[in-house]
Chain A
Amino acid sequence: MTRIVNTSLMRKIKKHGAGRNLDVSACFNCGNCTAVCPLAADSGGFPRRVIRMAQVGMEQELLASEELWRCYACGECTQTCPRQADPAAFMAAARSYAIAGYDFTGLAALANRSALGNLAVFAVFSAVFSALLLSRMNPGHPNFPLFDFLPGEWIHQIGVALFVVVGLSMFSGIASMTWRIWRQSRSQGATLHFAALPGAVFSALSDALFHRRFQQCEAESDAEVLAAQPWYQRPWLVHASVMGGFLAMLLATTLDFLLKPIGSTVPPWYPMRILGTAGGIVCLYGLSIVLLRRAQGKEHPYKKSSFADWFFPVLLTVTVLTGILSELIVYLPSPTTFGHVVFFAHVVLAMDLVALLPLTKFAHVLYRTLALALFAWRHAPAAAAASVGVEA
């Protein structure tokens, strides 16, 4: 098989790294990171192999490695790396590079490579959504109900259009990743059995939902570090609260969209409202820990933060905060100008969040789950065959 070497691959990946001192070129391939990793046990071996791919410019192989997404950034490799080459930060940078690599528009590359690019993409999206919303805004009375100020119908129409565009974009990303991994595994002589697919998808989803590997990652890493953290601040729980809260809000919004008449007012004990509010609070709890840890910058995985590492949680926090504020404002007797501004901001930011999903760090929800599923799928037939062999 022909291999195409991208001689500037390492330089490109470094641009995605946190800080200017991602010194992964220092790696001398001793294999310490792979052997110390609590998660590398059941796969081909990461991070070292992925670092090697970057060092020798094997871009196609790098973009086709599920290993990138099997890492949960516990930082054990970075703490023990003999060259202090920071494999964990490299894996994060390579994931960011992969997100850019799976996106054909080039927007992801722009958004992930630099703070300026990230802000530019964000600003353009915000401007587009603002303009769309402003075009149908009722500027009149400050005491207008919120959905009279911004017509609910119009928000829904933009939303549907947005979901279609983002859905297509996500599909193209998924297709790109799947195609690369498929091609790679075929060249390695692997055979895939469709019968094993549902099981693989199910295991990946349950992995992602229940944070199984995330917990395994922490269970085996340094006991001292863990002992210093109370259980409610463990990274997996923090991540679970952000994710769980977000999913609750997403579910509430979707159900609202399907069931609740547009513009109608519901009491605070309306089930979807309770679900959304509870989700928002749980999500904010996780986000506040993430942001605090990143600001302190003391322990893995929060030691080094790229702009993208900051941008996504901050965007999510502001979106949730404005959402909760808008919710309160709905029940005020007369919304003020401030209320309108908050609501406007919330709608724009929520649209930004969706629009940026396939382009930013947010995309990991897509690619990590897909990678876990593909990995499980690729490795399922062998296991099944083995068990059959034992029975026979």
Chain B
Amino acid sequence: MNTHINSDFAPDALVIGAGIAGLQSALDLADQGLQVLLVERQASIGGHMIALSKVYPTLDCASCITTPKMSAVAHHPNITILTNTEVEGIETREEAHHVRLLQKPTYVNFDKCIGCRLCEYACDTEYPDPFEEGLGSVRAIAVPFTNAIPQKAVLNAEVCGTCGTCARVCPTGAIEYDQQPRKLTIRTDAVILASGFNLNALTIKPQFNAQRSRNIISPLMLERLLAPHGPYGRVLRPSDGKMPSSIAFVQCAGSRDESIGVSYCSRVCCMYAIKQAMLLSGALPLADITIYYMDIRAFGKGYEQFFQNAKAMGINFVRGKVARIDPVDGGDLSLRVETTEDAENPLQVRHHDLVVLAQGMIPGWQPAAITPVACASDGFIATPSLVAPTITTAPGIFVAGTAAGPKDIVDTIAEAGAAAMQASQYLHQKHSAILVA
């Protein structure tokens, strides 16, 4: 793994984003003998997937799939990784893409850091751990998470008090408080955008009052609660550490809702809610679990069977969109919903002690203003061709995964492979054209 590059480094392809899509695209290109630069905004590669507990519909462990891929990328001779690096823009001229990068300071010299974590153990400043979705805490200088790649400490300058402890305990003198951001421009022939997704805010629907209760949580928080190496090691609700006994999943809480400007379906929420419900019924065998849904969209291979299994396991499925959530005594939540399949008594107020809002998937990055690619009306990168869904409006720039629209892991990996194939085909045509000329 090479992390030292200068502007004269010219890879065949540059992959933006090192989530599961970027990892797969980079591997598929590098395995064909092409030189790849993989750029990641976060301190570790792995994206959202490395933080998940298990994947549907197989209930395989998510990190058991992602970690080997991360490792393979890290050890691949044809792949260079730049973490903590943002893409500031792409200019296309002289038949090549010039990608402007901003490498942010980590205040740790990666050449010297050996990942021993002595600095992390010595540091006495803590802040809510972003990897644990704020549920646990992490030191101001730390390796991002257990299986992070690179295994290097990163200092969070926003919370660090520069007390100097880490510099004193570091056995290799890797701490550099005076590190500066570094700008560099990379010339490359092909770019794959795998910039992924974000979730819209828990508070996006004022009627859900998410700001008034810590027991209204995001699905990614629940992933961490369910993960074997999660923040508490078991499922406890955030406000008081109580073991929840009645859990509600509120579907379409941030998508399929024009009143908040997200009219499309996020495509993964039905399935991950079912998966989380199954995992919860394992973790909390006595808990009542209810999924409030508008439609169950179980469209993938094996998904419908998964849904039917969940019903057979005793998970309650209630058709109706929850309209209002109000905190009540004891940290519980009261949900107002029209149970649309109940002819007798449709309007119901139900109490739960933990509520998971299925937030909407929104683009993780806004490339339209700073790159030649266009975005569609939903904000995701436009893919005009139905028969080549990884081709963007800009020649030589391809897209993979949720950067092009909401999709699940299976579809993302398939698309990442397709994007790599399109990119390598593009490179071959370009190179042979140069040879002919």
Contacts and interface: CB of A to CB of B under 8 A. Distances in A.
A79 interface: yes
B394 interface: no
B64 interface: no
B320 A31 contact: yes
Given A30-B320, A34-B338, A35-B338, A82 B256 contact: yes
Contacts of B340: 29-31, 48
**Interface of chain B: mostly helix, strand, loop or mixed:** mixed
A82 B320 CA distance: 12
Given A36-B324, A45-B338, A80-B323, A31 B346 contact: yes
B351 interface: no
B178 interface: no
Contacts of A30: 252, 294, 320-321, 340
A36 B336 contact: yes
Most chain A CB within 10 A, of B207, B259, B294, B338, is at B338
Contacts of A44: 346
A35 B259 contact: no
A29 B320 CA distance: 8
A49 B338 CA distance: 10
A82 B252 contact: yes
Contacts of B347: 34-35, 40-41, 45
Contacts of B322: 35
A265 interface: no
B222 interface: no
B346 A45 contact: yes
A35 B325 CA distance: 10
B337 interface: yes
Contacts of A222: 206
B337 A81 contact: no
A84 interface: yes
Contact of A31 (B256, B259, B338): B338
Given A35-B347, A82-B252, A48 B338 contact: yes
Contacts of B31: none
Interface in A239-276: none
Nearest to B255: A82
Interface in A197-238: 222, 224
Interface in B318-364: 319-324, 336-340, 346-347
Contacts of B205: 80
A296 interface: no
A35 B321 contact: yes
A28 interface: yes
Query: Chain B interface residue count: which class?
Result: 20 to 34
A32 B321 contact: yes
A28 B337 CA distance: 15
A156 to B, nearest CB: 51
A40 B346 CA distance: 10
Nearest to A83: B258
Query: Chain A interface residue count: which class?
Result: 20 to 34
A31 B337 CA distance: 7
B60 interface: no
A81 B346 contact: no
B378 interface: no
A35 B342 CA distance: 13
Nearest to A36: B323
Interface in A24-77: 28-36, 40-41, 44-45, 48-49
A96 to B, nearest CB: 25
B176 interface: no
Interface string B293-327: 01000000000000000000000000111111000
B324 A35 contact: yes
Contacts of B321: 30-32, 35, 82
Interface string B205-236: 11100000000000000000000000000000
A158 B207 CA distance: 55
B257 interface: yes
A307 B342 CA distance: 38
B355 to A, nearest CB: 15
A189 to B, nearest CB: 12
B425 to A, nearest CB: 41
Interface in B257-273: 257-259
A84 B323 contact: no
A49 B319 CA distance: 14
A385 B319 CA distance: 32
Nearest to B322: A35
A353 to B, nearest CB: 38
Contacts of B319: 31
A198 to B, nearest CB: 29
Contacts of A32: 321, 323, 338
Contacts of A31: 319-321, 323, 337-340, 346
B345 to A, nearest CB: 9
A352 B337 CA distance: 45
Contacts of B337: 31, 35
A301 B284 CA distance: 47
B324 A82 contact: no
A82 B336 contact: no
Contacts of B324: 35-36
Most chain B CB within 10 A, of A35, A81, A224, is at A35
Interface string A74-102: 00000111111000000000000000000
B338 A28 contact: no
Interface string B238-261: 000000000000001000111100
B320 A35 contact: yes
B323 A35 contact: yes
A136 B339 CA distance: 64
Contacts of B346: 31, 34, 44-45, 49
A30 B207 CA distance: 16
Nearest to A34: B338
Contacts of A28: 294
Nearest to B343: A44
B17 to A, nearest CB: 30
A361 B322 CA distance: 33
Interface string A1-41: 00000000000000000000000000011111111100011
B336 A35 contact: yes
B336 A80 contact: no
Contacts of B338: 31-32, 34-35, 40, 45, 48
B294 A84 contact: no
Most chain A CB within 10 A, of B206, B257, B319, B323, is at B323
A82 B258 contact: yes
Given A31-B321, A32-B323, A35-B321, A79 B259 contact: yes
Most chain A CB within 10 A, of B205, B207, B256, B339, is at B207
Nearest to A42: B347
A158 B45 CA distance: 87
A14 B51 CA distance: 49
Given A30-B294, A30-B321, A82-B258, 5 more contacts: A35-B347, A41-B347, A44-B346, A80-B259, A81-B258
Interface of A: 28-36, 40-41, 44-45, 48-49, 79-84, 222, 224
Q: Which 5 A-B pairs have the closest CB atoms?
A: A31-B338, A35-B323, A30-B321, A36-B323, A34-B338
26 contacts: A29-B340, A30-B320, A30-B321, A31-B337, A33-B323, A34-B323, A35-B320, A35-B323, A35-B324, A35-B347, A36-B207, A36-B323, A36-B324, A40-B338, A45-B347, A79-B259, A80-B205, A80-B207, A80-B323, A81-B258, A82-B256, A82-B257, A82-B258, A82-B321, A84-B258, A222-B206
